[in-house]
Structure 1
Amino acid sequence: MTKALKSINPDMHFRALHLLEKEPGLTQRELAQKLGISLGGVNYCLKALIDIGHIKVGTFSKNPNKSVYLYLLTPKGIAEKAKLTAGFLKRKMMEYQALKKEIESIQSMAKDS
Structure 2
Amino acid sequence: MTDPKPPENELDYAILRQLEADRSGNQRDLARHLGVSVGKINYCLRAVIDRGWVKVNNFRRADNKLAYAYLLTPSGARAKVRLARAFLERKEREFEHLQQEISALRQEVHSDQPTE
| Short-chain TM bin | 0.7 to 0.9
Q: What are the ranges of 5 or more consecutive residues in structure 1 without an aligned counterpart?
A: 1-7
More contact order relative to length (CA 8 Å, sep ≥ 6): 1
Q: Secondary structure at the match of 1:59?
A: strand
Q: TM-score, normalised by structure 2?
A: 0.83
Partner of 1:73: 72
Q: Secondary structure at the match of 1:81?
A: helix
The 5-angstrom pairing of residues 22-101 of structure 1 reads: 22-59=21-58, 63-65=61-63, 66-101=65-100
**Structure 1 ranges of 4+ moved more than 6 A:** none
Distance in 2, matches of 1:106 and 1:99, equals 10
For 1:14-56, what per-residue CA distance to the aligned partner results, in whole angstroms no more than 9, with x for missing partners? 1110010001111101111111111110000001111111101
Q: Which amino acid aligns with 1:86?
A: R
* AA of the residue aligned to 2:108: M
- Compare the two structures and name the one with the higher helix fraction: 1
* TM-score in terms of structure 1 length: 0.85
Q: How many pairs are equivalent?
A: 105
- SS in structure 2 of the partner of residue 24 of structure 1: coil
Letter in 2 for 1:80: A
Question: Secondary structure at 1:64's aligned position in 2?
Answer: coil
Mind listing any 5+ residue stretches in structure 2 that lack a counterpart?
1-6
Secondary structure of 2:69's aligned partner: strand
User: What is the CA RMSD across the aligned residues, in angstroms?
Assistant: 1.6
Of 82-91 and 64-73, more deviation after overlay is shown by 64-73
Identity of aligned residues (%): 38
